[in-house]
Amino acid sequence: MAGKTMRVGISGGGPAGLTLAAILSREASEGAFKVTVFERGEEDRDQGSGWDMNQAAKDALSRAGVDPASVQRAGSDTMRIFKVAESGQQELTACLRMPGVLSRLGLRKEMIGLNELGQETERTKIISYLLGQLGEDVVVKHECPVTGARRVTGQGVEVLGRNGASLGIFDAVVDASGTASALRRCRYQPEADAFYTGTVFLQGEVDSPEKEWDAKIVQRLGEGTYGFCGPSEDGKGVVDGWAQRYGALKEDQMTNVTVRLGAKDFHELSRAVGLEGVHGISHEKSHVASVRKFLAKKFSHGAWDQAHLGLFASIKGVRFLPIFMHPLAEVARANVVPGSDSLPLVGIGDALHALPPWSGTSGNFALSDASDLATALLEEQKKASWSIASTLRAKENEFLDRADGPRQRCIDSNKYTVEHSATTPIADFDFISSHILGGKKWYQSVEGFFVTAFIRGLTALNWWDNYGLR
């Protein structure tokens, strides 16, 4: 070990923060780091589902000592989307799945551009296994929210907790606390805050679709995701959602049901749903009953059959999730807090560059950030003289640029969906145009043509083995 021990404070004990801590713990020489992780939540709380990891995220998890296969659900890299017409007729409109006919020819997903279609993960297991990889040089403090930070000249950054109490002074502070970060204002002004997208995810947990759902829905779900869209209660618009498995073990049949809602004021919607002031997943019977009642009304159009209504009647836990995202990187850079370039504090993942779930990249970028930052800190610690703030600024710019790629597309597609879902009849609704192309028709751009052709071609190839339905 060259140099002294580097004190690293991490705000947020989620996958990104713990991946960073685990890599430092596993790869650094003895005494090189002293890491403290501050997590506002309880240690044994329900973490719910994760996300489908790309290769970079899996590499980061492996580097942290966790086998990606141990947290993934085998066979969950499949999505079938059905459209329910006003007449009640149900039609498969897209099947995102590696076609069996191509697999039998020896082709793999990455050969045909499906490498981003990954298996779903179980967040609870990710966190549990990461905690198991931490050595004695890492301390995790649960139920310990971070409320701020301040520079201590000549010493580093002091992290503050409840009522401004000191949680310690660190050479480097990493903000991995997500979109609701209390540290972001140390680096960026309010103009660069995350903004509400106008979309809310209303989610319900189901223990076992096999025991509680219609066999038709279970078949469409398979081991992956079942997407559905159909007429809103007044028939003038569209309501859509999806059911998704995430249990890493096959016998763990738990499934998330999510309904996508548009709302100018999510506080008002939370009151209508009966979840005002409720954060995280709630299993409170009154909350569950309120959500069931709300969704029954939302899907009260006659086109929706009992099989679909049964999706909501069986939920056991509920979550109200307003979706926020950060503006473009150029906005963040234009609103840096004066004098903060020399502050040894940096955000990673959603604390720095939050993207919405429909980006398909948010969690993957977070783990990539954690792994890349770990490499930088490991190299910095070995130096005789540290330039931590400069190192953090370089990585910060790299992370912002990396996450900016899908940002405008996410903004555009969501804006179209929010504005048109309430006024577009299901007969005029097209999943690819609405959710992927941002409202543009397939013939309006070269990209739109090829994206549409790819999805429709993939769906056609899956017809040969009945879309994987068993």
Whether 206 and 253 map to the same domain: the answer is yes
Whether 108 and 164 map to the same domain: the answer is no
Q: How high is the pLDDT of residue 434?
A: 81
Taking residues 293-322, report their average pLDDT: 95
Q: Is residue 174 part of a domain?
A: yes
Q: Which residues neighbour 58 within 8 Å (Cβ) at sequence distance 6 or greater?
A: 68
Q: How far apart are CA 429 and CA 420, in angstroms?
A: 9
Whether 21 and 146 map to the same domain: the answer is yes
403 φ, ψ (degrees, to nearest 5): -85, -5
The pLDDT of residue 64 is above 90 = yes
CA angle 194, 195, 201 (to 5 degrees): 105
Q: And the tokens for 88?
A: 């009640």
Residue matched to tokens 């909501």: 312
Helix ranges (H only) for 382-437 are 388-404, 407-420, 431
Whether 397 and 412 map to the same domain: the answer is no
The pLDDT of residue 360 is above 70 = yes
Which of 388, 405, 422 is at the close of a domain? 405
Residues 241-262, buried b or exposed e (16+ Cβ, 10 A)?
A: bbbbbbbbeeebbbbbbbbbbb
Q: How far apart are CA 390 and CA 422, in angstroms?
A: 48
Q: And the tokens for 303?
A: 């086109």
Q: How far apart are CA 212 and CA 217, in angstroms?
A: 10
Taking residues 13-22, report their average pLDDT: 97
Say which DSSP state 260 is in.
E
Q: How high is the pLDDT of residue 255?
A: 94
Q: Do residues 402 and 386 make contact, with C-beta atoms less than 8 angstroms apart? A: no
The pLDDT of residue 423 is above 70 = yes
pLDDT single digits (tens) 371-403: 999 999 999 999 999 999 999 999 999 999 999
Q: Which residues neighbour 463 within 8 Å (Cβ) at sequence distance 6 or greater?
A: none
Q: Is residue 256 part of a domain?
A: yes
Whether 459 and 359 map to the same domain: the answer is no
Q: How many CB atoms lie within 10 A of CB 339?
A: 8
Q: Which amino acid makes up residue 427? A: A
Taking residues 172-193, report their average pLDDT: 97
Q: How far apart are CA 164 and CA 146, in angstroms?
A: 9
Q: Is residue 153 part of a domain?
A: yes
Q: Do residues 85 and 12 make contact, with C-beta atoms less than 8 angstroms apart? A: no
Whole-angstrom distance between the N-terminal and C-terminal Cα of the chain? 57
The pLDDT of residue 171 is above 80 = yes
User: What pTM does this model have?
Assistant: 0.92
pLDDT single digits (tens) 112-161: 888 778 889 999 999 999 999 999 999 999 999 999 999 998 899 999 99
Whether 330 and 320 map to the same domain: the answer is no
Whether 298 and 443 map to the same domain: the answer is yes
pLDDT single digits (tens) 210-260: 999 999 999 999 999 999 999 999 999 999 999 999 988 888 889 999 999
Query: How many domains does the chain contain in total?
Result: 2
Q: Which domain holds residue 374?
A: 6-70+120-194+326-405
Q: How far apart are CA 329 and CA 316, in angstroms?
A: 39
What percentage of the chain carries pLDDT values higher than 70?
Answer: 99
Q: List, in sequence order, every beta strand (DSSP E) within 216-265.
A: 225-231, 238-245, 255-262
Taking residues 99-117, report their average pLDDT: 86
Whether 214 and 294 map to the same domain: the answer is yes
Q: How high is the pLDDT of residue 417?
A: 86
Whether 59 and 200 map to the same domain: the answer is no
Which of 70, 184, 47 has its CA nearest to residue 123? 47
Say which DSSP state 445 is in.
S
Whether 189 and 200 map to the same domain: the answer is no
